[in-house]
Structure 1
């Protein structure tokens, strides 16, 4: 049925609002933007609020707004819908995740009260899954693996959509990256079973599988040699380092060094440069950028290499405090 064939009676209006959340979850962004525009012209006040909040969310995800700009716009709104009050805070978390600001994420996530939505409905269930995923990611970045696994497990338990299952298994696998190759891979592969090729969760699962294979020196069938994304190119460079193709690895790393990267990506960048050159300076730069991004989990990568190169373990532990 064409989007504009449906009337704006209450039942149809509720259906449009529900489809808005589903379109966002399933990355059907063309449909999402049409629904935002449709609801904007509604005579219903509630519909207009959904249009406005999801419009800010969409612009934030596209990079047309910064997280601070989005927060100010939300702050100027008089939101009366309980679901939207929750979502207006919840929608900021993926942006802080992209910035690897795990402490900020954790602080916001812990303040979100789902029970302000009194009745158990589609939106409360969906927002619960969104919140569980973000909490799991925050605790992973902060290095609290037990809590990260706990929230990943809750995500899987409460999943209302394949996307949530995929992310639950992704985060669970990431908690095992440095400790259990087989179980981490098993979790990532389960996640792939619930993912759709081309979607963001599919790409992230393959990227984690690629890192896993590189980290343990296993045959890597998850590399994307054609991608222009920094994270994918770093994975190829890591594979070349493992194959002792140092010149090829450094060529990639030098090429992407001046591309836009957050502190977390720079932490990986200098870690790979350190592996390629055996330079302590690069490993210390890696530690610096991982710490700037609040990543207490992946900072172990350069720290382990510095210890192998003879740095005092007690001193290294002091650096990470």
Structure 2
């Protein structure tokens, strides 16, 4: 499902009413408020996004205004979702449970509960990623969910940075996620978000989610260092602060191993690189070395085992197909 609404669709005087309907349809019933009612016709707002499984993700950009979730709206609709808003540009303020969270740096995020009153303020023009979660997915993972609302979560280090990066990446490709991988993907998202919330508020995680967070961190480290020919399971374990034995246990739960995960990442990158036009000028040896393989022969065997063709032949076929498409 693709969501796309913009105040540019309506004339000036109707924009604020239009915006009320747009954000209420996308999330839960909300009441937008403008400091100067006479300036409503100059208001601008745009919402784009979609659905991944049970999770809705939308990028929301708007000029200065407030959005309020009132007790009467809660009683009227009975919607029961948990939300996360991640700042992309500008600055915002969220208030709930007698706490106030300021988002002033891109990547920072805040968590809030639609079953309780809250207020969100766009101080000036701002853009954010809003994520709507089913309540049970996070309450099953975080102890004391009421303690994590309206707290600014930093995105410059630790699990907060991991959660912020993961959500932003997912938000950029929300319509491209294969439904068959949505469920396991979202399981990781729930666990990483839960870990960030718990760490920020100093509350506990349910035991199973520690494993999911460690696994996500390991995979993130592999993505960042896949081109390092010296990358090893032992190095990954040291980097994320677990034993090598525990690292193997984590990957075993997904039917794979750390070494296989490294290989998978390198081969996926090779497959993508060989389909680009400049690949015609590259030797297989230079490509192999750039991706962390120590020997071209090892790369060629692994690539053929995975994709059924030697890398050079795969490149030639991909480039020929691209040439044929351009001629049509």
Q: TM-score, normalized by length of structure 1?
A: 0.29
- The structure richer in strand per residue is 2
Q: TM-score, normalized by length of structure 2?
A: 0.28
